[in-house]
Structure 1
Amino acid sequence: MTNDNPAENAADDQLGTLDSILETHQYPTTTDDLIAEHGEFEVQSQDGETTLRELLEPIDDETYDSADEVQNRILRLLHR
């Protein structure tokens, strides 16, 4: 089965392994929970590699209901 959603395909391409980790994470979840469980995971940013912790710590604690919500948030943070 293929994914015909361009936004989700872009997230898959950019987040790679993190996508799989987020898919298996328990939801709802919060920014603080994600940092506690996956904060040391490295993602590619425009400036090189950064950890999920470094990316998420500056934002307020938010609640996410799905992996898609987290992926979209991370992608927005990576591209600002």
Structure 2
Amino acid sequence: MGERAYDLARLVLDRCEDLARARPRGRAPPGRQAGGFLDVDRDRLRGWSLCRAVETGLRHAAAGDHRRAELLLEFAGWL
């Protein structure tokens, strides 16, 4: 059985554009509270989301997709 927080981090990243639009300035993204109602350790979900956002952002930057890379790396900063 895999780690649930790792798998859920992918879902968080898939929604990062929606979360960025919905995020009031100066506040954490809404997905940050996801661990509570999904019965997943919030710190582990945050950690895996951060790791995957940075890794995916760097991969997009290397491929020349700078818009997506910037969004993912900014999202990592929110976490």
Do the two structures share a fold, i.e. TM-score over 0.5?
Answer: no
Structure in which a larger fraction of residues adopt strand: 1
Structure in which a larger fraction of residues adopt helix: 2
> If the length of structure 1 is used for normalisation, what is the TM-score?
0.31
> If the length of structure 2 is used for normalisation, what is the TM-score?
0.32
